[in-house]
Chains A and B, each alone.
Chain A
Amino acid sequence: MSVAAGEPWASLLGAVHTLITVCDSVVIVYFLAINTSYLVLILIALGEFVRTLRRAPFAGHDEAATSPLTPPVSVIMPAHNEAAGIAEAVRAMLLLRYPEFEVVVVDDGSTDGTLEALREAFDLAEVEYVVPDDIPVRGRVTSVHLPRGGPVRLVVARKDNGGKADALNVGINLARYPLVCMVDADSILDSQALLAVAKPFCDDPQRVVASGGVVGLANGCTVVAGRVVEARVPPDLLGRVQVVEYLRAFLLGRTGWSKLGSLLIIAGAFGLFRKDAVVAIGGMDPDCIGEDAELVIRLHKHMRELGRDYRIVFVAEPISWSEAPSQRQVLAHQRRRWHRGLTEILLKHRRMIGNPRYGRIGLLALPFYVVFELLAPLVELAGLVLVPLGVLMGAVNVDFLWRFLVVAYIYAIVVGMVSVAVEEYAFHRFTRWRDVWGGIVGVVAENIGYRQLTAWWRLRGMWDGLRRSPQVWGAMTRAGFDSSSPVREKGGDRA
């Protein structure tokens, strides 16, 4: 190697050196910033819980439960190959505490006898029917069924397969009431669930256009005839981590966002909407993977463009339960899908990002999602590669680095523990000491191992979203809610 060639080589090395130093600093700062933002959201949520608890005695829950003036609700339940559990799910749904509601089941071209299961359970008869066309749909409705004789408020529609969003659109068209509640056929609802999510509509009917409920993990819980009787933290590590993750991201995070007036996601597993508002924006987008989040962003967009004073709120009461994947591959599919959905939604609505026309949504919530949700796996993995590289190249002081890493990880664990503590203070749904311990183990495991693992899946989801590859519906293998029910295969995602 000649001296002349060594000069640029050394300066290149120097540049790489500097680059890695800068990148490492970025990673470190990012890591602190993301956890601080979680902490802020959690503290906002805590404030909200304290307020709600103090006001619970005069919240008027009983009034809403008994008054004929409580707005009636159409519960829309899309189902695709749910024969095993559909009858029980519908029966549980019909037993919710609520003055007036109907259940609309949309069978999206099932091939496993979902409709037959319902026919048997509710003595359905096929009827001629005119399905209103408020929202254009893709899959044709082939038949509509009603229960024979008796005041069971149920209607079952069978349609050609068109995906979950399309099934929901058919359900919205069939709904006769001014509020529509979208639920998953396999979500388990507490009996107060509808009352709780409908309360914002009763208290502030002019402004509230949508409200979402908390989704908890049903894994490990004792479920009797479609109700969670006892909440538990599952014994397996993957389950424990997800319990804590749901707690932090879905319960506390969304409560915080709701308080900031910038709630972007209402879980497809349980959300209540004004029918006229959903119809006005053309219903769900059947081309979007995260159709639930996409709908909410479009609602925000619509309302902001009209200059309306509106609210989209999150009801922070643990009321709906879904089963999370307990196998690694299934979780991988789920996360890949979620992240792909997020990528597509943010791409679709990229004009809103940073746009002052959309107020807090454009200036706060969407940029946050881009930086701390969309890019999180990228930074996570970059850190995993660049930090050791920096150490190898001597760009980072090893002694400083390991201390700093310890601080950063313990900080993340503190954030997780604050979530557990807030849950313990406000809801204490978990009754056993073992569950608390399980939660703490989950907090540690989430930060060491789980996040890095999901980062890879999420990154691939992002790539899918950017390339817009054809939709791959992740097969969701679920262990049934009780040991007697068979393992079911499921398409679609849950939270």
Chain B
Amino acid sequence: MAHVLIADDDADIRDLVAFKLTQSGHQVTAVEDGMAALRAARENTVDLALLDIRMPGMSGLDVCRELRATAQTATLPVIMITARSQEADVEVGFAAGADDYIIKPFSPRELSSRVTAVLNRVER
């Protein structure tokens, strides 16, 4: 059971992700922008972060780069969330240090299995 951080400016997505992951037995912290995500990742012991790339203010990419640059969060697994039209972002996301990505629209089931997969990969 892990502590997952979700950062997305879209309340529907946030609620849905939080619901699904809580249902799968994870503890979830939901925030709506990049700044808050960074703060939450630093203040809590988070096991995985789900970051929307295009958030107002600080983007998910910037958050990811910041996380990688700080020793405390350098190895925190990150999954990027991006829209289908902006698949170029995937490349940038990996360059910024993301571990995996999910393309919107997604099914909650797919999300859950990706989260599990990334968590398992890290444990090993």
Please, which residues of chain B bring their CB within 8 A of the CB of A70?
Answer: 85
Contact status A95-B83, CB under 8 Å = no
- Chain A interface, >50% SS class: loop
**What separation, in Å, do the CA atoms of A135 and B105 have in the docked complex?**
43
Contact status A68-B85, CB under 8 Å = yes
Check if A99 is an interface residue, CB within 8 A of chain B: yes
Check if A191 is an interface residue, CB within 8 A of chain B: yes
**What separation, in Å, do the CA atoms of A68 and B57 have in the docked complex?**
25
Contact status B92-A152, CB under 8 Å = yes
Check if B71 is an interface residue, CB within 8 A of chain A: no
> When A65-B83, A66-B84, A67-B85 are in contact, do A97 and B95 touch as well, CB less than 8 Å?
no
Check if B110 is an interface residue, CB within 8 A of chain A: no
Check if B86 is an interface residue, CB within 8 A of chain A: yes
One of A99, A224, A226 near B85 (C-beta < 8 A): A99
**What separation, in Å, do the CA atoms of A142 and B56 have in the docked complex?**
35
- Chain A window 287-315, contacts with chain B (Cβ cutoff 8 Å), 1 for yes, 0 for no: 00000000000000000000000000000
Known: A95-B59, A150-B91, A229-B57. 17 other contacts (CB 8 A): A65-B85, A66-B84, A66-B85, A67-B85, A68-B85, A70-B85, A91-B62, A97-B83, A99-B85, A149-B95, A150-B92, A150-B95, A191-B54, A191-B56, A226-B57, A227-B57, A229-B56
Would you mind naming 9 contact pairs between A and B with Cβ atoms under 8 Å apart? A66-B83, A66-B84, A68-B85, A99-B85, A99-B86, A149-B95, A151-B92, A224-B57, A225-B58
A476, chain B: closest CB distance, angstroms: 26
**What separation, in Å, do the CA atoms of A150 and B91 have in the docked complex?**
8
Report the count of interface residues on A (CB-CB < 8 A). Answer: 19
Q: Which residue of B lies closest to A70 (CB)?
A: B85
**What separation, in Å, do the CA atoms of A191 and B58 have in the docked complex?**
12
B41, chain A: closest CB distance, angstroms: 17
Q: Which residue of A lies closest to B104 (CB)?
A: A66
Please, which residues of chain A bring their CB within 8 A of the CB of B92?
Answer: 150-152
| Residue from B33, B57, B83, B85 having most chain A Cβ neighbours under 10 A | B85
One of A97, A151, A226 near B91 (C-beta < 8 A): A151
- Chain B window 7-44, contacts with chain A (Cβ cutoff 8 Å), 1 for yes, 0 for no: 00000000000000000000000000111000000000
**What separation, in Å, do the CA atoms of A22 and B85 have in the docked complex?**
65
**What separation, in Å, do the CA atoms of A226 and B62 have in the docked complex?**
14
A187, chain B: closest CB distance, angstroms: 16
**What separation, in Å, do the CA atoms of A227 and B58 have in the docked complex?**
10
In B65-115, the 8 Å CB interface with A consists of 83-86, 88, 91-92, 95
**What separation, in Å, do the CA atoms of A67 and B83 have in the docked complex?**
11
**What separation, in Å, do the CA atoms of A244 and B84 have in the docked complex?**
40
Q: Which residue of A lies closest to B55 (CB)?
A: A95
